[in-house]
Structure 1
Amino acid sequence: MVKAVLSIIIILSASFIGYILAYKYVQRPRQIKHLLLSLQLLETEILYLLTPLPQALKKVAGKSSGELKRLFAEASVLLEKKDGFSIEDAWRQSVESNYQFTSLTEEDKEALIDFGMSLGTVDRDHQLKNFHFIYAQLKKQQQSAEELRSKNERMYRSLGILLGVAIVILFL
């Protein structure tokens, strides 16, 4: 009886670990999709509604979800403080400090930092090109993230279950 209960606990624990490892692969495509939507909102605020960047970032933060909300909110706060932060510095610091709370990769982080280099510093046409460039980059990364998800999600979940079963077999 005790062996059966312990076996079930081991299998469930290992399965849970497998699901946790798979979660990052599930979250990344979703976060990239939400990031694209948030950047489209930012584009609308800046280029068409002519909202000043700190207020535009604050509005986008209010409409963004989860981890991405922090990214835009922190950049807005840093710019509103006027502590000598340039737009690029505020964006970079916000991306780097909030990156750890996301499922985004280093490549995604670098694309966001590169985007921030010309955010609010060039004319309208170049700003529009900058937005279109980040959209293309993120769509490409979303596609590769989706491929990784479909490949690795099932693998990690199955691996967790199989590892649990293997441990139980070894202990019996």
Structure 2
Amino acid sequence: MKWIGALLLLCATTWGGFEFAKRLKERPRQIRQLKNALQVLEAEILYGQSPVKEACEQVAKQIPVPLSLFFDAFSSALKKSNAPLHLVWEKQLQEYWSNSALGLGEKEIMKQFGQTLGQHDFVGQQKHIRLALSHLERELQEAEDEQQRYSKMVKSLGFLSGLLLILLLI
């Protein structure tokens, strides 16, 4: 019975390490998707001259899950609500963020971007999108560095911590 418990403990800690490593791997991918989404949003607003609601609908159609869920929910919430755009944006960020692998840096960038969304003319809006893209590029480099540095270590740490717990408990 002890061995079954030890094996379950080892499997659980190893699985935890692999899940954390998966999150480290997902973060750069989702940042790239976020950058792509902002570029599509820029094209829809500047060249398609679409209102923010329609532009976000188009973004949701063109990018993969889970980020498309955010833009779709944001667009739907804008249609249903009379609240200011930046408040709807922040509310959707709060609801979405726990379902993503994105970090607090990206959240702050998106929060600041949401405060400027729809507040300026086309040229001003383009400048804010470009600013958000440059900040996201910095976060992408940081996320890729973290992934390379910590991914293998986290996997090993999950397994080794399980072994340590087993040795301490036996």
- Please say whether Structure 1 and Structure 2 have the same fold, judged by a TM-score greater than 0.5: yes
Opposite residue 147 of structure 2, the aligned amino acid is: R
Instruction: Tell me which residue corresponds to 1:127.
Output: 125
Q: Deviations over 1:35-55 (max 9, x none)?
A: 111111111111111122111
**Quick check: 1:74 aligned with 2:73?**
yes
Confirm or deny: 8 A CA contact 2:17 2:157 kept in the other structure: yes
Within the candidate set 106, 109, 116, 1:108 is matched to 106
> What pairs up with 1:10-159 in 2 under 5 angstroms?
10-81=9-80, 83-159=81-157
Q: Extract structure 1 runs of 4+ deviating beyond 6 A.
A: none
Unaligned regions of 5+ residues in structure 1, if any?
none
Opposite residue 141 of structure 2, the aligned amino acid is: Q
| TM-score, normalization by structure 1 | 0.89
RMSD, aligned α-carbons: 1.7
Confirm or deny: 8 A CA contact 1:78 1:85 kept in the other structure: no
1:66 match: secondary structure: coil
Q: Following the alignment from structure 1 to structure 2, what is the Cα–Cα distance between the partners of residues 109 and 170?
A: 40
Structure 1 residue 70: deviation in Å?
Answer: 1.9
Q: Following the alignment from structure 1 to structure 2, what is the Cα–Cα distance between the partners of residues 61 and 105?
A: 21
Unaligned regions of 5+ residues in structure 2, if any?
none
| TM-score, normalization by structure 2 | 0.90
Q: Following the alignment from structure 2 to structure 1, what is the Cα–Cα distance between the partners of residues 137 and 29?
A: 12
Opposite residue 13 of structure 2, the aligned amino acid is: A
Opposite residue 58 of structure 2, the aligned amino acid is: K
Confirm or deny: 8 A CA contact 1:95 1:113 kept in the other structure: yes
Structure 1 residue 84: deviation in Å?
Answer: 1.8
Q: Following the alignment from structure 1 to structure 2, what is the Cα–Cα distance between the partners of residues 118 and 167?
A: 50
1:50 match: secondary structure: coil
Confirm or deny: 8 A CA contact 1:41 1:60 kept in the other structure: yes
Percent of counterpart pairs with the same letter?
28
**Quick check: 1:160 aligned with 2:168?**
no
Structure 1 residue 5: deviation in Å?
Answer: 5.2
Q: Deviations over 1:52-102 (max 9, x none)?
A: 211110111122222211211121112212x32222222121112211111
Q: Following the alignment from structure 1 to structure 2, what is the Cα–Cα distance between the partners of residues 146 and 9?
A: 32
Confirm or deny: 8 A CA contact 1:67 1:102 kept in the other structure: yes
Aligned residues: 170
